[in-house]
Amino acid sequence: MFLHIGGDFVIPIKNVIAIMDMETSTISKDTREFLKTAEEEGFVTAITDDLPRSFIITEEDKKSRVYLSPISSVTLQKRSGFMNGIAGE
């Protein structure tokens, strides 16, 4: 199954490690440093030029990638079915 994360990007759900809200998660200094390091090392892909509302951490073939998405983390989690699993539906 695939997850549409904005623009023309879809990613396999099995590769998703985390879907994070940009506003609330970047309050943490550690998260800001993680994103800065990932950007410096070339692991970050911006989906669009719009302001990112969430970021998705993925891993495929032991390679990490961070996608900056204009779609909210709640919407992405609903699309992925993560919320259904958590809510017991």
Residue range 39-50, pLDDT digits in tens: 999 999 999 999
Lowest mean pLDDT: which of 30-39, 42-51, 76-85?
Answer: 76-85
Per-domain residue ranges of the chain: 2-84
Q: What is the pLDDT of residue 81?
A: 81
Residue 78 has pLDDT above 80, yes or no: yes
Residue 77 has pLDDT above 60, yes or no: yes
Output the pTM of the full model. 0.87
How many other CB atoms are found less than 10 A from the CB of residue 33? 10
Closest CA to 45 of 3, 9, 2: 9
Residue 18 has pLDDT above 70, yes or no: yes
